[in-house]
Amino acid sequence: MKRSYYTVGLIMLTFFVISFLTNVIGPLIPDMITGFRLSLTLVALLPFAFFIAYGVMSIPSGMLIEKYNEKKMMTAAFIVALFGSLILALFPNYLSAVFSLFLIGCGMAMLQVVINPLLRTAGGEENYAFYSVMAQLIFGLASFLSPLVYSGMVSRLQQNAQPGSFFSFFNKFVPAQLPWISLYFLFVVICLLMVFVILFSKFPKVELNTNEKAGQWATHVQLFKNRNVVMFFIAILCYVGTEQGVANWISQFLFTYHGLDPQKTGADTVAYFWGLMTAGGVLGLLLLKLLDSRIVLISFTILAILSLSAALFGSAKIALIAFPMVGFFASVMYPIIFSLALNSVKEHHGSFSGILVTGIIGGAIIPLGVGWLGDQFGLKFGMYFLYLTMGYILSIGFWAKPIITNKTIQLFKKKETVQLD
C-alpha cells in the first residue's frame, strides 16, 4: 500500500492540537475559580465535563468509524470542538464552560479513535511504533507550549494592547475581568483552520485488521467479563486521573500554600510538568529496550510518589521542582499500561482498545474527588487521594502477567562453554 507522509504530518498536527486544547485546563483553574466565584468542587466539574466525554464518545466513535470514513469523522470532530470553543468565548459563564468543555472533549475523543488506525495505514505497519512515539513527543510539546501561550496572552491583554495590534482584537470581545477567555477565541480559529485543512486533504483508505475492528456491544460485554480487562480499565482510569489530578491542581496549590502567581509561576510550572513528561518518555523508551516493562513501571512509579510527596510537604522552591518531576516519572505509565493490557488478552484488541480509551474518564473522576476533598479538608488533603491511584499503578508491575513481554536488548551474551572429553 502506498504510504502518505502528508497524512502522517496531518496526524502529527492533529495530535498537537488535541494536546494544545486539552492540557491548558489546569493552568486556567485559578482564573476560573476567581472569575466565576467557584468552590473547588464546582471548578473540578469543568475537567470532569471534558473527560467524561471520552466515556460517552469513545466506543460509539469506534463503531462509527466503520460506517463513515476518516475524513468525515475528523471534520465532524473539529466542528464539534469549534462550537464548544465558540460557546464559551461568546457566553463566558460557568454553565457555558461546562457545556463547552464537554463538546470539546467529545471532539477530542472522536479524533483519538480515528487517528491511530489512520497512522498505521499512512505511515506503514512496520513504522507504526516509531510514529506512535513521535506522536507522543509532539503531544508532550503541545502540552508544554499551551500554558505558556495562555500566560503570554493574558499578560499582553492586561497590559492593554495598542490599537491595531493582534491583541487589540480580543479587547473588543473579551471581558476585562476574564482575559483568559481570549484563549477560546484562539481555539475557534485553530479548529476552523483544521476543518479547512482536512477538507482539502486526501486520505488513504484504511483497512482495519480483524483485531483492530471495534466490534459490537456483545463483544464489549464479553470483554468486561474478563478480569484482566476490568483491572486494566481501572489502571488507565487511575493513570489519567493521576496525570490530570496533579496537572489541574498544581497552579491552585502553589497559589494557596505558597502565594505564587497562578498566571505566571503556576502556568510555567504546569508547562514544565508536561515538558518533563516528554523528556521522561524519551528516557523510558531507552530503558524499555533494556529492562522488562514491569520493572520500569515499578521504578518510575515509586519515584513519582516520592516526587509528589516532596511537592506536597516541601517548601515553595522544592514544590516548583518536584511537581514537574512527577510528570517526568509519570511519563512511562500510559504506554506501559496500554501495552501490558493489550498483551494480556488474545483477541478483540480493537474493542479492548476502545474500552481502555474510555478509561480516560479518570481525568474527570479523580480531579473531582480531589476538589471535593479539598473543599472539606483543604486542597493538600484532597491531593492525598492521588496516593491511592498511584498505589494501584504501582501494583500493576506485580500482578500483570502479559502473554508477550517487551523485547529487550541483551548487552552481554552468555558465552557457550564446550566440554572436552
Predicted local distance difference test score (pLDDT) of residue 292: 79
Report the phi/psi class of residue 124: left, alpha or beta, with left for phi > 0 and alpha for psi in -120 to 50. Answer: left
Q: Would residue 279 count as lying in a domain?
A: yes
Q: Would residue 17 count as lying in a domain?
A: yes
Least confident of 135-149, 157-171, 390-404: 157-171
Band (363; pLDDT cuts 50, 70, 90): confident
Band (408; pLDDT cuts 50, 70, 90): low
Cβ pair 386, 261 in contact under 8 A = no
Distances from the Cα of 171 to the Cαs of 157, 175, 187, 203, 262, in angstroms?
7, 8, 17, 40, 22
Give the mean model confidence (pLDDT) for residues 121-138.
69
In SS3 terms, 287-305 reads as: HHCCCCHHHHHHHHHHHHH
Most confident of 36-45, 244-253, 314-323: 314-323
Closest CA to 251 of 47, 95, 16: 47
Q: Would residue 184 count as lying in a domain?
A: yes
Give the mean model confidence (pLDDT) for residues 105-114.
86
- Return the higher-pLDDT residue of 189 and 405: 189
Q: Would residue 408 count as lying in a domain?
A: no
Band (166; pLDDT cuts 50, 70, 90): low
Q: Would residue 307 count as lying in a domain?
A: yes
> What pLDDT, in 10s, does the model give residues 167-177?
666 667 777 78
Tell me how far apart the terminal alpha carbons of the chain are, to the nearest angstrom. Answer: 57
Least confident of 122-131, 279-288, 403-412: 403-412
CATH number at residue 167: 1.20.1250.20
- Return the higher-pLDDT residue of 242 and 27: 242
State the average pLDDT for the chain: 81
The percentage of residues in the chain with a pLDDT greater than 70, rounded to a whole number, is 81
Residue entry with cell 456491544: 217
Cβ pair 298, 392 in contact under 8 A = no
The percentage of residues in the chain with a pLDDT greater than 90, rounded to a whole number, is 30
For residue 94, give the C-alpha cell. 460557568
Provide the number of structural domains found in the chain: 1
Q: Would residue 412 count as lying in a domain?
A: no
Q: Would residue 405 count as lying in a domain?
A: no
What DSSP letter does each residue of 386-420 carry, written as one string? HHHHHHHHHHHHHH---SSPPP---SSPPPPP---
For residue 242, give the C-alpha cell. 493521576
Band (420; pLDDT cuts 50, 70, 90): very low
> What pLDDT, in 10s, does the model give residues 54-101?
888 877 877 777 677 788 889 999 999 999 999 999 998 999 999 999
CA distance 14 to 121: 16
Band (213; pLDDT cuts 50, 70, 90): low
Predicted local distance difference test score (pLDDT) of residue 421: 44
Q: Would residue 78 count as lying in a domain?
A: yes
Predicted local distance difference test score (pLDDT) of residue 385: 95
Alpha helices in 65-214 (DSSP H): 70-90, 94-123, 128-158, 168-173, 182-199
Distances from the Cα of 143 to the Cαs of 23, 105, 169, 400, 409, in angstroms?
6, 16, 26, 30, 32
Whether pLDDT at 161 is above 60: no
Read off the DSSP letter of residue 331. T
Domain residue limits at 180: 5-399
Whether pLDDT at 418 is above 50: no
Whether pLDDT at 318 is above 80: yes
Most confident of 4-18, 138-152, 210-224, 340-354: 4-18
